[in-house]
A and B are shown apart, each in its own frame.
Chain A
């Protein structure tokens, strides 16, 4: 129910939303949890294992019970914390882990069977009979497992990745964080302040405390306004820092659009990487429950959460309240409730020596031993120093003390340290380089202490940043010491929950200890404690204490579990934002791209590039028909193909030739100006890295081409060789791949096509020549090179002329009985000629293997030369490149293995494999390139080509890889 006059909600704006099909009203500023509690809804979920009815426990992102599904038009998000999800008009939510309804859930029968479902029950029960596993146990467990459900559709929501940099990152905006941000902001530092909530203030929003004798809200408003106005301070609201990484890098998740009706221009979430020189962790602390019997009923909540609902939302989720606590701080909440006119039935303080000042019954030395109320708390009973009690109550506040929110200090292997004074772990200093934990997350639990710590942390950071700090008066605030007597568990008949979300009770932890799982890491895994969406935020320390108790050790001796990123559940969609579908990799388009698509050419990926596979013509029913036609263009008339994707590197300097001699196996320093040479490049270990042609444009200038896929690799390699081995040589190079559009014009009519088009017809232009030409007044480069075995040219123009040139060349080719050809035809043409691609030079072959060992110049050194002579890299045992011609018209495939006919088809008998296959119109059958053990000596032999995946079993003749025009007469024509 609502309390008048309280809450930071906008009561003038009513918001309607749905939960489990029913429409509820709340106010702007409400979370689903606060709005449901205001509407008297206590039951919001079912627990994972026993399907126990559960209500809201907390008021923050650590919530273990109130996990709901948010159903959008295009997505469905499970396990959303109702305590974090803000309501907006049209928000549709539902409870999860129940069937058929939240109030009546069939699987709650598990609860009756709980004596048999204790820790390790899976491991013990589903062991035998073995045959039952696949058919019965596994499907059964799978059906029961998992929290929430998915729509099984793509999430069409929009997410973003973003980057930010700052001098000082402040994580959390409670008293500590605000002071730190204010001090650093006024000193002029570049500050980012991240706050998980929609409002700055942290516990100041919940405490209803005083600063400088005035309501804290006044100070908060003025500081917020100042920080908002400072240009050097960036406030990131609704942003949770989720992880700490090397070098001052932090990840953060911003809920950009989750709190409002979807808007197409807003992402749902943004995943940030924030790089900070210094960081102040001011994440506060989390109140911890106490494990007493039947402590999981709806209506049993953390005291601090009820305080938050009272002051931040104006909601009191009960009519007759009780408090069970082991510390002074929680008793303030009971007093505030009374002041707000709420009936407090009793205060149960577990400490026998505590005071009793409140105007209500106060039981000291109290312990709750049972609770009642299936779908909502009705009564509690227990004992105290004066006897027993039984109290009718519908809201029980629990406080077992506070745990510093030190999670991200563990992200780089930091081990928290036990502080017996507050009976809690505190961060180890220096756990994250550059990060200072301050305030409550460092074990400082008074407002005054937090304000001071925030100020000091900022000063420390400013000193490191080399900035003078500006003196700021710390507001006067409450500074009463935090006093508690640890109480972890209360013995009794019923089950006492530690981990609500995963249904782990004290009994499970004791059983784990009894069965030998005495290490906290083993206990966790055996009981699944801490493995639910809250990652043990509510239960780790309690479970550790129970384990310590069961094994007769102290808590620090028992150890601690540490925390890994992310601090809160983080959607993969946000981490991988932009990476889905076409966003997976950048796309590179050639200048002819539109022209090819205009001709309905299907595109195929080549590295990051998109290249046309073939150009279908009306009436053609298969790609093979188109491919065969395009092959005929090149063999009989003229074909045009965009080859701009090949890497182009402009190499200049007096030592350019010397440099190419070092990176290529063959010699380029002797290449005459105006000539092109084919070159082979080796890796440091002697295997083939890449191949391509290089042209000498001038005495001190070469243009190297690389294969499409290896362009980046070669550039990196050249940079390495240059910088590591010959930095003092006079040579410089740069990639010009995207500066030039280049087209192959190939076929017997290639020259006449070019002559009809060039401003001046070609004079003498022999095979492997390069020269300047002019096309429509545009300076172009012409290379006479061939990847098809036909007379071939490649003409290059500045990129901006690429599309026009392609369209023109294709149109002219068509008047001559030719036309454009795509990758399929290009592939067959080069297989027929025995030209290699990276299908052949795939990283495990040497120059010797591909029959090019003669290209390794004897007279000079080159990268990889010596390494290629290592034992095992040369000789008859090597698989050598051969051509394969099937004896009949049967299809063969690449990747098939080669066997001696009659040999057993076993792996050890494999003699090699095929790498490239194409159907050759010239030979009327398939042709393949492949590698065969001692292949060059076996030309003429018959091998069996086996591909068991595609049912290929064909006999083929081993031949020379060059299937036609071995002398190269056609290309020199």
Chain B
């Protein structure tokens, strides 16, 4: 499997660490209910088809990214950085 790292280019899957669904990006706020928390931590869709997961280019640029891939065809459709470019100068 090859992952198109937006920073380093397409690299072997062995360079990456897999975390889980992109749901982890939406951190529940201080006042979230137990159900929301449960949802965030444990409840996952398991789609046959397009899925969006978090990967970390651990032995590369240390970027976290959302990789879009198809669980049926194994096609890797793209990857985007988790840290969105900001308008502010000098930040990501």
Which A residues are closer than 8 A to B by beta carbons?
A: 245-249, 273, 275, 412, 433, 684-685, 712, 715-716, 719-720, 722-725, 727-728, 730, 861, 863, 865-867, 870-871
Q: Which residues of A contact B34 (CB under 8 A)?
A: 870-871
Q: Which residue of A lies closest to B58 (CB)?
A: A716
- In the complex with contacts A720-B19, A723-B81, A727-B92, A433-B75 CB distance below 8 A: yes
Q: Evaluate contact between B1 and A245: CB separation under 8 angstroms.
A: yes
Q: Which residues of A contact B63 (CB under 8 A)?
A: 719, 723
Q: State in angstroms the CA–CA spacing of A867 and B34 once bound together.
A: 8
Complex contacts, B37 vs chain A, CB 8 Å: 866-867, 870
The CA of A870 and the CA of B19, in the complex, are separated in Å by 22
Inter-chain contact A247/B2, CB cutoff 8 Å: yes
Q: Which residue of A lies closest to B19 (CB)?
A: A720
Q: B27-62: which have CB < 8 Å to A? A: 27-28, 30, 32, 34, 37, 41, 54, 56, 58, 62
Task: Please judge, given known A-B contacts A246-B74, A684-B24, A723-B83, whether A716 and B17 are in contact too, CB under 8 Å.
Answer: yes
- Is there a chain A Cβ closer than 8 Å to B21's Cβ? no
Contact status B64-A723, CB under 8 Å: yes
Indicate if the CB atoms of B76 and A247 lie closer than 8 Å: yes
Please give, as numbers and ranges, the residues of chain B lying within 8 Å of A870 by CB-CB distance: 34, 37
CA distance A716 to B18 in the complex (A): 11
Evaluate contact between A720 and B56: CB separation under 8 angstroms: yes
**Nearest-neighbor residue (CB-CB) of B42 within chain A:** A685
A866 to B19, CA, bound (A): 21
**4 residue pairs, one from A and one from B, having the closest CB atoms:** A247-B2, A727-B83, A723-B83, A246-B1
The residues of A that contact B25 with a CB separation of less than 8 Å are 724
Chain B positions within 8 Å of A, measured between CB atoms, are 1-2, 10, 12-13, 17, 19, 24-25, 27-28, 30, 32, 34, 37, 41, 54, 56, 58, 62-64, 74-76, 81-84, 86, 88, 91-92
A973 to B68, CA, bound (A): 57
Q: Are B1 and A730 in contact (CB under 8 A)?
A: no
B70 to A: closest C-beta gap in Å? 11
A249 touches B1 (CB 8 A): yes
Given the complex of chains A and B, what is the CA–CA distance between A685 and B2 in angstroms? 30
Looking at B17, B32, B62, the one whose CB has the most chain A CB atoms below 10 A away is B62
Closest CB in chain B relative to A303 CB, distance in Å: 40
Q: Is the CB of A866 within 8 A of B32?
A: yes
Residues of B near A712 (CB, < 8 A) are: 58
Contact B75 A728 (CB under 8 A): no
Q: Known contacts A684-B41, A723-B92; can you find 18 more A-B pairs with CB under 8 A?
A: A246-B1, A247-B2, A275-B12, A412-B74, A716-B58, A719-B63, A720-B54, A720-B82, A723-B63, A723-B83, A725-B27, A728-B86, A728-B88, A728-B92, A861-B30, A863-B27, A867-B41, A870-B37
Of the candidates A246, A865, A866, the one having the most CB atoms from chain B within 10 angstroms of its own CB is A866
Query: Which residues of chain A have C-beta atoms less than 8 A from B74's C-beta?
Result: 246, 412
A273 to B9, CA, bound (A): 18
B83 neighbours in A (Cβ, 8 Å): 722-724, 727
Pick 9 A–B contacts, CB within 8 A, sort by A.
A247-B76, A249-B1, A273-B12, A684-B41, A719-B56, A720-B54, A724-B64, A727-B91, A728-B88
Contact of A723 among B13, B30, B82 (CB under 8 A): B82
Knowing A719-B56, A727-B91, A867-B37 are in contact, say whether A248-B28 is a contact too (CB < 8 A).
no
Query: B56 to chain A: closest CB distance in Å?
Result: 6
Report the Cα distance A273→B2, complex, angstroms: 12
> In the complex, which of the residues A433, A724, A865 contacts B82, with contact meaning CB atoms closer than 8 Å?
A724
A728 CB contact (under 8 Å) in B62, B82, B91: B91
B87 CB to closest chain A CB (Å) equals: 9
Separation in Å of the A713 CB from the closest CB of chain B?
10
Docked complex Cα distance between A712 and B58 (Å)? 9
- Whether B86 contacts A727 by the Cβ 8 Å rule is yes
A735 nearest in chain B by CB position: B62
B2 to A246, Cβ gap below 8 A?
A: yes
Residue of B nearest to A723 (CB): B83
- CB-CB under 8 A from B58, the residues of chain A are 712, 716
Q: Across the interface, which residues of B come within 8 angstroms of A275, CB to CB?
A: 2, 12
Bound-state Cα–Cα, A871 to B38, Å: 11
Residues from chain A with Cβ under 8 Å of B81 in the complex: 723
The reply to whether B64 and A719 form a contact with Cβ atoms under 8 Å apart is yes
Contacts of B28 in A (CB 8 A): 866
Which residue of chain B has its CB nearest to the CB of A727? Answer: B83
**Most central of A685, A722, A724 by chain B CB within 10 Å:** A724
| Distance in Å: Cβ of A58 to nearest Cβ of chain B | 34
Chain B residues contacting A719 (CB-CB under 8 Å) are: 56, 62-64
Question: CB-CB < 8 A to B2: which residues of A?
Answer: 246-249, 275
Neighbouring A residues of B19 by C-beta, 8 Å: 720
- Which chain A positions have C-beta within 8 A of B76? 246-247
A725 to chain B: closest residue by CB: B27
Smallest CB separation, B85 vs chain A (Å): 9
Contacts of A247 in B (CB 8 A): 1-2, 10, 13, 76
Q: Considering the chains assembled together, what is the distance between the CA atoms of A433 and B28 in angstroms?
A: 40
**A412-B84 Cα distance, complex, nearest whole Å:** 35
User: In the docked arrangement, what's the CA distance between A491 and B83, Å?
Assistant: 71
**Bound CA–CA A722/B56 (angstroms):** 13
Whether B84 contacts A727 by the Cβ 8 Å rule is: yes
Chain A residue nearest to B26 in the complex (CB): A724
B87's nearest neighbour on chain A, judged by CB, is A728
Closest residue of B by beta carbon distance from A729: B91
Bound CA–CA A866/B31 (angstroms): 8
A246 cross-chain contacts in B, Cβ below 8 A: 1-2, 74, 76
Find the A residue at minimum CB distance from B66: A724
Residues of B with C-beta under 8 A to A248: 2
A408 to chain B, nearest CB (A): 16
Q: Considering only CB atoms, which chain A residue lies closest to B14 in the complex? A: A273
A655 to chain B, nearest CB (A): 10
Q: Give every chain B residue within 8 A of A724 (Cβ-Cβ).
A: 24-25, 27, 64, 82-83
- Give chain A residues whose Cβ lies under 8 Å from the Cβ of B13: 247
Residues on the B chain within 8 Å of A716, using CB: 17, 56, 58
A716–B17 Cα distance when bound, in Å, is 9
**Bound: A855/B45 CA distance, A:** 35
CB distance from B67 to the nearest CB of A (A): 12
- Nearest CB in chain A to that of B92: its residue: A727
Complex Cα spacing A759 to B55, Å: 48
CB of A564 to closest CB in B, whole Å? 16
CB distance from A656 to the nearest CB of B (A): 14
How far, in angstroms, from A627 to B2 measured CA to CA in the complex? 50
The smallest beta-carbon distance between B59 and chain A, in angstroms, is 10
Question: Closest residue of chain A to B63, judged by CB?
Answer: A723
- List the A side residues contacting B12 at CB < 8 Å: 249, 273, 275
| B contact residues around A720 at 8 Å (CB) | 19, 54, 56, 64, 82
In the complex, which residues of chain A have a beta carbon less than 8 angstroms from the beta carbon of B54?
720
Contact residues in B for A715 (Cβ distance below 8 Å):
62
Within the complex, the shortest CB–CB distance from B65 to chain A, in Å, comes to 9
- Please indicate the chain A residues that have their CB under 8 angstroms from the CB of B62 in the complex: 715, 719
Q: Complex: how many Å from CA A720 to CA B63?
A: 8
Separation of A433 and B10 alpha carbons in the complex (Å): 16
Q: Which residues of B contact A863 (CB under 8 A)?
A: 27
Interchain nearest-CB distance for B45 vs A (Å): 18
Say how far B14's CB is from chain A's closest CB, in angstroms: 9
> How far does the alpha carbon of A715 sit from the alpha carbon of B59 in the complex, in Å?
12
Cα A720 to Cα B24 with chains together (Å): 10
| Contact partners of A871 in chain B: CB under 8 A | 34
In Å, the complex CA distance between A838 and B87 comes to 41
A246 vs B86: C-alpha distance when bound (angstroms)? 34
Which residues of A sit under 8 angstroms from B84, Cβ to Cβ? 727
In the bound complex, residues from chain B placing their C-beta under 8 Å from that of A685 are 41
B11 to chain A, nearest CB (A): 10
Residues of B within 8 A of A723 (CB): 63-64, 81-83, 92
CB nearest neighbor in A for B41:
A685
Give A861's nearest chain B residue, CB to CB.
Answer: B30
B residues in contact with A245, CB < 8 Å: 1
Nearest CB of chain A from residue B58's CB, rounded to whole Å: 7
**Contact yes or no, B75 A730, CB < 8 A:** no
Give CA–CA (A790, B1) in the complex, Å: 52
